Structures are given as C-alpha cells and as structure tokens.
C-alpha cells in the first residue's frame, strides 16, 4: 500500500486561531444557516482546498487494462489539480472494507473504489465517514448521501468490438471472452454479441466467461478453443487475464481486438485495434464535479458521447483495414453517440 500522510501544520494553525478567539473576550456570532426546504436534499458544498484522493484497486496497476486505466486517472488528477493522492492495489475481497476505512480515517476527501466488486465494502464504510465522499466506478446505484457512482458504458465498448469483428472476419466466426461475472463485464459481452449481429445478422459469435480477471491461462485456453472452431477475430474483456487471449491469437496467427487500453504493443502482429475505455476521463469528471460541489449521490453514466469509449489507432494495420470498414465504424460510433442504438433492454 502506498500512503502519503497529511501534515499537522493546518491542525496547529487551527489551535492557534481557537486560542486567539478564546482570549478575545467576546463570543463570535454564529453565521445564519439556511435550512433546505422540506423534502429537498441539502446542497453539497464545494471544497475550499484541493481535495485529497485515494484509490482502491482489486488488481495490479500494470495489468495493461482496467486497473492500469484507473491508476492513469489518479495520476491525471494529481497532475491537473495538484491533489495529494494515494492508492492500494490488488486488494482482496476480505480486505476491502479495512482499506476504505483506513483512507477515511486518514481524512482523504475523495475515495474511489474501482469496480462493482467494491459495492458492499464502500457502502458500509461511507455510512461511518460522512465527511469523506466516496465514488464507486461501474457500481450499482448508491444509497448513501456521500456515495456517487460513475459508470462507463461497457456495453458500448463491447458493441464496437463486436461490430468491427463482424465486419472484418473472413470465416464468419468471431469470439469474445469475459472475465469475472459482474455486470460491467457481462454487459460488455452482451454488447459484443449485439454489435456483431448489428453489423452482420449472419455472424456466429462464440462467447464464454472464465470467471477470473487473473487467470491468464484460462483466457488463453478459451481463445485457443474458439480459434479451433473457426474464429479469426477474438476479443477479451477480462483485465489482466485478457492478455492470455491476445497471446493465443498471436500464437495461432489470427487477430485480436484489444480492450480498455491500447494493447497494440502487447502483440503488434495480432492486435488490429483496441476499443478503449478512457477511464481517466471518468476520474477527472468525478473530481472536477466534486470540486464544483455537484457530485451528488446518483449515477453518472459516460460513453461514446462523452469521449470515454472510442477506437485506438490502427497502427501497422492502417492499410489492412478497408476504408469501407472504417467508414461503417464511424457511422456506428455516431449512432451510439446520438443514442439511436439500444443495446441493453
């Protein structure tokens, strides 16, 4: 765990101010407080100082995927706003509540849980620390007054991946692999299936969930099985485990579609394109909204329209991908941004 402890200078200044007030011989007049109207939520006040930020991850920051993108978001906040930041990586389910509680006890202003698997722990801790604001990335609707959700439209990411695979395949068979069976991943897999069918109603989609974000071998074996069944484009939405699927594609001479981050460098001969989730934008959105006093206990959903989901460069495959495919994918992106495509019921 990486920690940066707050100094005591502010505390000493406050003690001095209290002492001076006590010796002034008069009681300070209490400022008038405007009560909210009946049934109205109290206004969320913007912080007067640069808020400090803590991030809790269930995987490593070097997974070339979901957790790495969150770490990039934390670094973006530090660079753009000068915030004090801290993070904890590869936190097991049994330790989540303790880690959140530690950060809240240290007085961090904004505490992120990166993934829906943090829902239970962050909800419990948020109730005990009302002075900290908690943000659940890709979690369910919050219940606490100091807990907000920022969701990435995973189904849009999957939709773009599936549509591209369907437009590019020569065998008529493509594959998609999901990791842990949590809503963001299952939604992305459903999105892949829907996108492939949208681009080509006759396409055959092979899909499977490995149940893990860490089991690289399981993803590789699943990808190899898909390839044996004729898949010539395979995508994996499985964080670190997805690297196994890319390895399988590289070994067998078929094509991979990267996820979350630009994964071209993982296998330059196999990764034609990646569909990115620019998670740092979601982090910046949450932090800026918090500083403005507008981070309320609700769910904020970001996708293609907000620039959070988009295509990477085609890199060495620029000439390989036909112009008509590029044009069709641009049309589909525009349709998603306009909200004219319904993916999930």
- Domain ranges for the chain: 46-152+280-302, 154-276+314-338
CATH topology of domain 154-276+314-338: Rossmann fold (3.40.50)
The pLDDT value given to residue 143: 79
Regions of the chain short of the pLDDT cut 70: 1-48, 141
Q: Are 112 and 55 in contact (CB under 8 A)?
A: yes
Distance of alpha carbon 235 from alpha carbon 154, whole angstroms: 14
pTM higher than 0.85 for the full model? no
Q: Which two tokens stand for residue 255?
A: 């094509």
Which residue, among 160, 167, 165, has the nearest Cα to 233 in the 3D structure? 165
CATH topology of domain 46-152+280-302: Rossmann fold (3.40.50)
The pLDDT value given to residue 4: 42
What separation in angstroms does the CA of 251 have from each of 26, 212, 221? 80, 22, 12
The pLDDT value given to residue 3: 42
Q: Are 214 and 241 in contact (CB under 8 A)?
A: yes
Question: Do 154-276+314-338 and 46-152+280-302 fall under one CATH topology?
Answer: yes
The pLDDT value given to residue 32: 39
The pLDDT value given to residue 46: 52
The pLDDT value given to residue 238: 93
Q: How many residues appear in the chain?
A: 345
- Residue-wise pLDDT for 160-186, tens only, equals 999 999 999 999 999 999 999 988 899
Q: Which two tokens stand for residue 176?
A: 């998609």
Q: CA 322, 323, 328, 332 torsion: positive or negative? A: positive
The pLDDT value given to residue 33: 36
């Amino acid at each position: 765990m990486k920690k940066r402890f707050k100094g005591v200078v502010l505390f000493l200044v406050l003690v001095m101010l209290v002492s001076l007030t006590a010796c002034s011989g008069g009681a300070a007049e209490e400022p008038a407080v405007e009560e909210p109207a009946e049934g109205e939520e109290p206004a969320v006040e913007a912080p007067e100082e640069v808020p400090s930020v803590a991030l809790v991850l269930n995987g490593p920051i070097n997974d070339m995927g979901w957790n790495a993108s969150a770490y990039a978001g934390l670094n973006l906040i530090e660079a753009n706003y000068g915030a004090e930041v801290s993070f904890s990586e590869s936190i097991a389910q049994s330790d989540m509540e303790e880690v959140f509680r530690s950060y809240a006890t240290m007085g961090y202003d904004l505490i992120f849980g990166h993934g829906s698997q943090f829902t239970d722990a962050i909800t419990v801790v948020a109730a005990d620390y009302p002075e900290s604001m908690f943000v659940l990335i890709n979690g369910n609707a919050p219940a606490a007054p100091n807990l907000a959700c920022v969701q990435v439209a995973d189904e849009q990411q999957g939709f773009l991946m599936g549509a591209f695979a369907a437009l590019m395949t020569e065998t008529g068979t493509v594959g998609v692999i999901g990791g842990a069976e949590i809503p963001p991943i299952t939604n992305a897999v459903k999105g892949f299936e829907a996108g492939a069918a949208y681009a080509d109603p006759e396409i055959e989609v092979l899909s499977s969930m490995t149940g893990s974000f860490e089991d690289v071998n399981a993803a590789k074996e699943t990808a190899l099985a898909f390839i044996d069944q004729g898949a010539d484009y395979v995508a994996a939405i499985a964080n670190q485990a997805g690297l196994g699927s890319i390895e399988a594609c590289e070994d067998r001479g078929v094509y991979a579609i990267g996820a979350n981050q630009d994964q071209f460098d993982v296998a330059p001969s196999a990764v034609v394109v990646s569909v990115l989730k620019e998670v740092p934008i979601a982090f910046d959105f949450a932090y800026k909204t918090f500083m403005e006093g507008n981070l309320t206990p609700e769910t904020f959903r970001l996708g293609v329209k907000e620039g959070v989901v988009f295509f990477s460069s085609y890199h060495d495959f620029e000439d390989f991908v036909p112009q008509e495919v590029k044009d069709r994918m641009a049309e589909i992106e525009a349709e998603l941004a306009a909200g004219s495509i319904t993916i999930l019921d």
